[in-house]
Amino acid sequence: MTGFLLVDKPSGWTSHDVVAKIRRLSGVKKVGHAGTLDPMATGLLVVAVGPVTRLLRFLQDLTKTYIAEATFGIATDSLDADGEITEKAPMAFDRRQLEEAVSTFVGDIEQIPPMVSAVKVGGKKLYELAREGKEIERDARPVTIHQFEVLGFEPGEYPTASFRIQSSKGTYVRTLVDDVARRLGGRAHLTALRRTTNGSLSVADAATIERLEADGVDAHLVDPARALADLPSFTIGAEDAAALRHGRQVRIPDTFDGSVAAIGLDGDLIAVGEPERGWFKSRVVLR
């Protein structure tokens, strides 16, 4: 058994919990996912089952979209509703001021990852240090915010708002929302987060854990060509497909740059690689 699953992760589950569940349901040990969702968060988790786990790195780099809800004026140690309150002070601003603050974060920005995160510093995950009561200096990391839109706003002593965010790999929406609050003179924390897309893959096509239990994993497997449809691709014949599977190189059009998918005449994904002086250099070949 091999292929991808689009899973609608429930709140309260870690991404690892989902992977462990798929291992049990499928009987396959080699299972991985294309990007962590915090326990509180829900939505699209792309899971690979079997040999296609080697392709996960190409999905991890794709743009992701989120719907987020936040409360302003209240900060927590984790920057979300799962954490302990660390600051509480009423804030006063209107929707126009919020939208102006949000607009300053669109584009290439730098983010300092939160202490409650899986980022490793000195071989140890930040959340492990946070559990020990430690807070260390973290380096800012570059991320890109492609879209940051205010969907709803409720004024009050502790205003609430909802957002649509489209961002690059490695973006912490918790940090992004708190940074907006700091721009407005206060703090904030996430009260809900839902990932709706990973590249062109959508949570609308995802299965719940209950559905996977009822139908079986096989019924919801997505073939690799569909899962990696965001990659540029070129079509190869049977002879070139056989050559790639035997470790030989094939010619590639000179119009490509970066990762490219080689697709067989039947629509199956044969390999993913990169162009090199007119040749296709395979990174992953599916046998």
Residues carrying an active site annotation: 38
C-alpha 80/C-alpha 128 separation (Å) is 17
Beta-bridge mates of residue 144: 108
| Gap between the Cα atoms of 119 and 174, Å rounded | 14
Q: What phi, psi does 203 have (nearest 5°)?
A: -65, -20
Token pair 């462990």: residue: 20
Distances in whole angstroms, Cα of residue 10 to Cα of each of 79, 107, 117? 19, 30, 19
Question: What span, in angstroms and rounded, lies between the C-alpha atoms of 168 and 144?
Answer: 5
Angle of CA points 156, 180, 77, to nearest 5°: 85
